[in-house]
Amino acid sequence: MAEDLIIYSTKEFAFVTLSDAYSTGSSLMPQKKNPDSLELIRSKAGRLFGRCSGFLMTLKGLPSTYNKDLQEDKEAMFDSYDTVCAVLQVTTGIISTLKVNRTAMEAALSTDMLATDLAYYLVRKGMPFREAHGASGKAVHLAETKGIPLNQLTLEDLKTISLLFESDVSLVWNYTNSVEQYTAPGGTAESSVRAQIQYIRDWLKPRRS
């Protein structure tokens, strides 16, 4: 997550803007805003994995039952606990104060992202996914050949690929519909995301008391 937010906060993406409280300026370039807090969080992952790998190597050389080597778990465990607590505290501050730039994110959307949705459209019409995947790929290639976005292919263009395409294919070119179709647990639909959030809140509630 830290890596994603670091990339998304760059000028090239500008999807999110970090609060000044969790970023620093550059000693050389006054216009630069460094995501130091996220970079430190990213580095802590390496520290924690290192602790885990180190102790696993200790365990690897042990026979069954208790051995004095196991006292080495204390330093790794306590340090990992302190590290995770600190990371969670900073992460909470970052997430609660960052600004999401919706306009920039919407501008980055491309109809090529809906190529899979085009394949699913054909599946709903009765075509096996293996064939639908190939048909969608042909549509993408045709759009690239014509030098136009995927959603600007005409119905006649699409029918040269499959006769299953009908006028309702226009409903595919909707990013909201694309997101909302995945309603299974862990899916991208708003209802699914809210359910996941509520699940975590319910899981945390008795553990906070």
77-124 pLDDT, tens digit per residue, is 999 999 999 999 999 999 999 999 999 999 999 999 999 999 999 999
Q: What is the pLDDT of residue 209?
A: 66
Report H helices in the chain.
2-8, 36-60, 73-97, 102-107, 115-124, 129-146, 155-159, 175-180, 190-208
| Residue 114 and residue 151 in contact, taking contact as beta carbons nearer than 8 Å | yes
Give the mean pLDDT of the chain. 93
Instruction: Quote the tokens at residue 142.
Output: 């045709």
What is the per-residue pLDDT for 40? 95
Q: Which of the four pLDDT bands, split at 50, 70 and 90, describes residue 208?
A: confident
Q: How far apart are CA 62 and CA 69, in angstroms?
A: 8
pTM of the model: 0.79
Determine the average pLDDT of the residues in 178-202: 95
25's enclosing H/E stretch is strand 24-25
